[in-house]
Amino acid sequence: MGQGESAENEEVSLALIQELCTTFMRECPSGALYLHEFKRIFGVQSTSEEESIYIETIFHSFDTNRDNKLDFMEYVSALHLVLRGKLEDRLKWSFKMYDTDGNGRLDRREVRRLLRLIYKMKTKGTDMEMTPAEMCDRIFELADQNHDDQLTLQEFMDGAQKDPWLMDMLKLDFNAVGWVNQNWVTKSPS
């Protein structure tokens, strides 16, 4: 890929971020995006418990000051991470998503919890080969270097970068640009 193509892709991403920031200010004139608005914007139905819990987890991972709202800077940081962030930064964010108690280590309960949510959302109408418990066991088998039944950020990062399956499971990546375009840009009134 040449420099021109790279610069062109970068401009598209910057244009998208600018459009999303404009939408934020129109949708949230107070300068704050609350969880219920976040769910509405991303089309999360109140009947889907898995999607609701997952989107709450995402919301709280971006709420860096823990005030139960996303201010403009938290929003811009989240967009940058999701749309243009480096793999290392996205892995750190994924670790934070898994680390629900915030102690800097993942135990099996935390990993299984998020895997169950992802599994329920992804398997509607499909047949997966592994259960969430089996996926959790495999994650720990591949990444838990000192076999203490906890994953540190370093073990998480090292494991993800060594094994493609593990990378896919840990980075919590799902066509983020497409998802943001579909759920935020197109659902927001002009």
What confidence tens digit (pLDDT) does each residue in 41-75 have?
776 666 677 778 888 888 888 898 999 999 988 98
Neighbour-count burial of 151, counting CB atoms closer than 10 A to its CB (0-12 exposed, 13-18 middle, 19+ buried): buried
* CATH number belonging to the domain at 87-170, selected among 1.20.1050.10, 1.10.10.10, 3.30.300.20, 1.10.238.10: 1.10.238.10
pLDDT digits over 21-47, tens only?
Answer: 788 888 888 889 999 888 877 766 666
Partner residues linked to 151 by β-bridges: 106
- Compute the distance between CA of residue 76 and CA of residue 67 in angstroms, rounded to an integer: 16
* The pair of three-digit structure tokens given for residue 181, joined into one six-digit string: 């375009």
**CB under 8 Å to 146, separation ≥6 — which residues?**
155
Name which CATH class applies to 9-85+176-185: mainly alpha
Structure tokens at 28: 């949230």
Domain boundaries, the chain: 9-85+176-185, 87-170
